[in-house]
Structure formats: C-alpha cells, structure tokens
C-alpha cells in the first residue's frame, strides 16, 4: 500500500504543496467530523473540497491499509488462493476503492487473480471520481478489470436489483455501516433484507464489514455479525474462530484490532504533536457461507485461541483476555512457571495461539501450566 501514498497526496494537492500546519489542520478537521462533530456531520460531507482533501491524505491510506490487512488474511486460505477471477461490490466506497489492496496482493504474488469486476457505490460524485482515478493509476498491467463507479443510495432497493446480477464473490462495507445505521436509521432486519438476496445460489459469498475501533461502532458491528450468522447462515472467517455469539458482546465488552502501521512519510510529523498514527485501530468481521475459517490454515493439535487484550503484567503472573469457544476467558501464567524465551510473553493483542493443556480455575478463568506447549499461530 505504501507505494500509493504519494499518489493520494498528489491527487489531494495537484497544484501547491501545503505546509505542515495546513496538513495538520486539515486532518484534525476531518477527524473531528467523525468523532466530536459526528452528530452535526452533513450527509454530503464528501462534497466539500476541504473534507475530501483531508480524507485523501489521511483516511484513504489508513482505510486501504486496514482492507489490505484483511484481504491478506483471506489470501492465506486455499479456497481464496485458487481463484483467478473476482467480483467485488464496495458499498459506500467513497474515494477509497477496496480493490486497490487486491491489486497489491496480486503484485506481491499473494493472489493469482487475473480478471476483476468491481462496482463501487457511493452517493457522492466527487468521491467516486477520485476513486476512479485511483483505480486507473494503481491497476497492475497484468490484471484486466471492469470497474464501475455508481452514484446511488445504499438504501435504494432498486440499486440492489442491478447489483445482484454481478453475483459478487465479495461485498464490502468499509466504514459505511455507521452512515446507514446512525444517519439513516436503518435497523438490523432491514439490513438483513438488503444482504439476503445476495446469498441465493452463492455458496462462496464473502461479506466484509469494517468499522472504526470505537466502543459504539464495534458493539454494533458484532451485534450485526451475530444476526447475520443466525438469520443468514453466515460463518466467520476472521477474526472470530467460530459462529458462537460474540463473546465480547455477551460480556458487555467490545473487541477491536490494533495493528502496527507505517504511515505515509508526510504524516510522520503528526506523532510529535500528539496524534496516534502508528497503529490501525478498527473492528471488523469477514463472514463466509462455506464455513472456511482462518484456523484451517493453522498447524496445531492444541486448543486454538485468539488474544483480544494486551498482555497484563501483574504481581506473580502475566494475564490476557482471550476469545475461546464463545467465551471471553481470563488466562494467566504464573511468573514462576515461565520458561526461558517463553512464547506466552510474545503474544500480542490479536495474536492467534494454541495451548496443549490448561487448568480451569473457574468457567471463565484458566491457568497455563509450566509444561503446556504454547504455539504462536498467526500474528496479524
Ligand atoms: C466514511 S466513508 C467510507 C469510505 C470508504 N469506504 C473508506 O473506508 O474509506 C462513508 C462513505 O459512505 C457514503 N455514504 C453514506 N451514506 C450513503 C448512502 N446512503 N448511500 C450511498 N453512499 C453513502 C459517503 O458518501 C462516504 O463516501
């Protein structure tokens, strides 16, 4: 993704290079629009030149990097690797077409796709125009693509009739669910009804939902996940390991990802003025119809677990909170049981790992014995 950062910058500032202060002001303004000023954000914010410029230099690289991370996980699975054609519908694409990370994975040899049909839908013409330019300038030569940028309303049922003909392999909502749930008041049953027709005669459909890593957005996302599993028979591919109701939600908690990120050079100075730019913070779920799961690629006989917290270094023990068999489990290893170079201390937030044996201290608390093998399976 890194190689496209200058393109985003040049599209934002075609004539004159801005000062650092101008960059900072733009980013703060656009960030504010999605946080403190969310309630006042107008529906057509992408129509504002200032917002679109700020979005291009900050949110486009951030959001496309999140999507890259997620597609990379999918590309690790055999089912996905075998594909050579891909049809993708990007709902609420804005100026960040979700097909760009696919281009990168093809160029890196992680996907073997040679033909793509892409449809990006958004209500804002200016955002679509930028998205179209980005696709034209980033498409690898060896890939053929039919790309459409469609101006439309995500709640317009007649739009979905046309989109269904595409028979998509992937439908993605990247940071657009909040816009239709919060701003347009759609409810979960209406959302299920929008998705349902895409599932007919489409056993390999993948649905990707990405939302900001805030408590509100994440809890709503996981509520939607539980409903899609229950009502449309979807099965999580990642980050979840099974189709049980979300363990975090059950515990009135929330689950989000925090992944290391190398920001564009032109943003690096922002960390010295107190802005967090070294991590991508988000919540997401990849749902499939064929029960493929990220754990299929792990080589282990142990219990497969995902760490959802940071490691907690306490007196006498090192703990973490993990998602395991539909429960949020408090796991600990006593410091006196730590081995030299112990894998327990290498587990990061989001890491998938396995353990051979545990001691149940209660139904939500377990201890790892000294001799239980811990394998790090995948560190996103
Ligand atoms: C936060 S942006 C996300 C853009 C892009 N997917 C990303 O991840 O960066 C949300 C996008 O949804 C679009 N949008 C919001 N409500 C919409 C609606 N009802 N119909 C179509 N597009 C909508 C906005 O114009 C905006 O471009």
Residues 6+ away with beta carbon under 8 Å from 356: 301, 302, 303, 372, 373
For the domain made up of 298-378, give the CATH fold: OB fold (Dihydrolipoamide Acetyltransferase, E2P) (2.40.50)
Domains 2-293 and 298-378 equal at CATH topology level: no
Atom of ligand 1 nearest to the CA of 210: 8
Q: Is the CB of 95 under 6 A from ligand 1?
A: no
Closest-CA residue, ligand 1 atom 11, reads 92
Closest-CA residue, ligand 1 atom 1, reads 175
pTM of the model: 0.97
- Cα–Cα distance between 23 and 17 in angstroms, integer? 10
Strands (E) in 205-315, as ranges, are 206-212, 235-238, 257-260, 279-288, 303-307, 312-314
- Mutation probe of ligand 1 site: the residue of 33, 123, 174 with most atoms within 8 A of C-beta: 123
> What is the Å distance from ligand 1's center to 94 Cα?
5
pLDDT in tens, 176-200: 999 999 888 899 999 999 999 999 9
Of the candidates 234, 220, 226, 229, the residue with the CA atom closest to the CA atom of residue 181: 220
**Residue extents of the structural domains in the chain:** 2-293, 298-378
Predicted pLDDT at 136: 97
- Mutation probe of ligand 1 site: the residue of 32, 71, 94 with most atoms within 8 A of C-beta: 94
What stretches of the chain show up as alpha helix (H) in DSSP? Answer: 5-12, 20-34, 49-54, 60-75, 78-81, 100-107, 125-138, 157-164, 177-178, 188-199, 215-232, 247-250
> What is the Å distance from ligand 1's center to 154 Cα?
9
Torsion angle in degrees (nearest 10) through CA of 346, 348, 353, 359: 80
Q: Is the CB of 128 under 6 A from ligand 1?
A: no
For the domain made up of 2-293, give the CATH fold: Rossmann fold (3.40.50)
Atom of ligand 1 nearest to the CA of 98: 6
- Cα–Cα distance between 31 and 35 in angstroms, integer? 6
Q: Residue 108, Cα to own-chain centre: how many angstroms? A: 20
CA atoms within 13 A on the CB side of 155: 14
- Cα–Cα distance between 27 and 227 in angstroms, integer? 35
Atom of ligand 1 nearest to the CA of 93: 6
- Mutation probe of ligand 1 site: the residue of 179, 181, 209 with most atoms within 8 A of C-beta: 179
Q: Is the CB of 65 under 6 A from ligand 1?
A: no
pLDDT in tens, 270-319: 887 777 789 999 999 999 999 999 999 999 999 999 999 999 999 999 99
pLDDT in tens, 42-79: 889 999 999 999 999 999 999 999 999 999 999 999 88
Predicted pLDDT at 275: 75
- Mutation probe of ligand 1 site: the residue of 66, 101, 122 with most atoms within 8 A of C-beta: 122
Predicted pLDDT at 119: 98
Of the candidates 283, 160, 314, 132, the residue with the CA atom closest to the CA atom of residue 213: 283
Q: Is the CB of 118 under 6 A from ligand 1?
A: no
Predicted pLDDT at 273: 72
Encode the chain (380 residues) as per-residue pLDDT tens digits. 899 999 999 999 998 889 999 999 999 899 889 888 888 888 899 999 999 999 999 999 999 999 999 999 999 998 876 789 999 999 999 999 999 999 999 999 999 999 999 999 999 999 999 999 999 999 999 999 999 999 999 999 999 988 999 999 999 999 999 999 988 889 999 999 999 999 999 998 999 999 999 999 999 999 999 999 999 999 999 999 999 999 999 989 999 999 999 999 999 888 877 777 899 999 999 999 999 999 999 999 999 999 999 999 999 999 999 999 999 999 999 999 999 999 999 999 999 999 999 999 999 999 999 999 999 999 99
Output the CA–CA distances (angstroms, integers) from residue 116 to 87, 205, 273, in the order listed.
6, 15, 41
Quick one: DSSP state of residue 17?
P
> What is the Å distance from ligand 1's center to 41 Cα?
12
Output the CA–CA distances (angstroms, integers) from residue 356 to 277, 294, 333, 344, 368, in the order listed.
37, 19, 14, 13, 9
């Amino acid at each position: 993704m890194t190689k496209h950062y200058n393109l985003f910058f040049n599209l934002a500032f075609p004539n004159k290079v801005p000062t650092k202060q101008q960059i900072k002001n733009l980013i703060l303004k656009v960030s504010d629009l999605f946080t403190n000023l969310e309630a006042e954000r107008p529906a057509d914010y992408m129509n504002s030149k200032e917002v679109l410029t700020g979005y291009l230099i900050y949110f486009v690289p951030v959001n496309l990097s999140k999507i890259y991370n997620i597609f990379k996980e999918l590309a690790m699975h055999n089912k996905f690797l075998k594909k050579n054609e891909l049809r993708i519908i990007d709902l609420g694409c804005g100026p960040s077409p979700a097909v760009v990370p696919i281009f990168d994975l093809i160029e890196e040899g992680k996907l073997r796709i040679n033909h793509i049909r892409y449809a990006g839908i958004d209500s804002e013409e200016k955002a679509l125009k930028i998205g179209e330019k980005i696709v034209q300038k980033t498409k690898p030569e060896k890939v053929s693509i039919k790309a459409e940028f469609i101006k439309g309303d995500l709640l317009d049922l007649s739009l979905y009739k046309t989109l269904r003909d595409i028979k998509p392999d992937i439908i993605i909502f990247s940071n657009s669910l909040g816009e239709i749930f919060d701003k347009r008041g759609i409810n979960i049953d209406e959302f299920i009804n929008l998705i349902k027709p895409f599932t007919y005669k489409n056993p390999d459909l993948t649905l990707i939902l990405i939302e900001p890593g805030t408590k509100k957005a994440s809890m709503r996302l996981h509520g939607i996940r539980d409903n899609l599993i229950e009502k449309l028979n979807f099965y999580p591919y990642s980050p979840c390991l099974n189709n049980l109701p979300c363990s975090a939600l059950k515990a009135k908690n929330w689950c989000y990802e925090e992944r290391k990120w190398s920001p564009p050079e032109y943003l690096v100075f922002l960390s010295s003025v107190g802005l967090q730019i070294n991590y991508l913070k988000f919540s997401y779920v990849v749902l499939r119809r064929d029960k493929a799961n990220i754990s299929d690629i792990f080589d282990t006989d142990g219990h497969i677990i995902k760490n959802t917290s940071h490691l907690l270094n306490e007196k006498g023990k090192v703990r973490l909170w993990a998602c395991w068999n539909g429960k949020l489990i408090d796991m600990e290893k006593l410091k006196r049981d730590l081995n030299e170079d112990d894998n327990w201390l290498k587990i990061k937030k989001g890491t998938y790992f396995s353990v051979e044996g545990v001691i149940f201290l209660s139904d939500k608390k377990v201890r790892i014995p000294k001799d239980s093998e811990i394998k790090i399976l995948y560190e996103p």
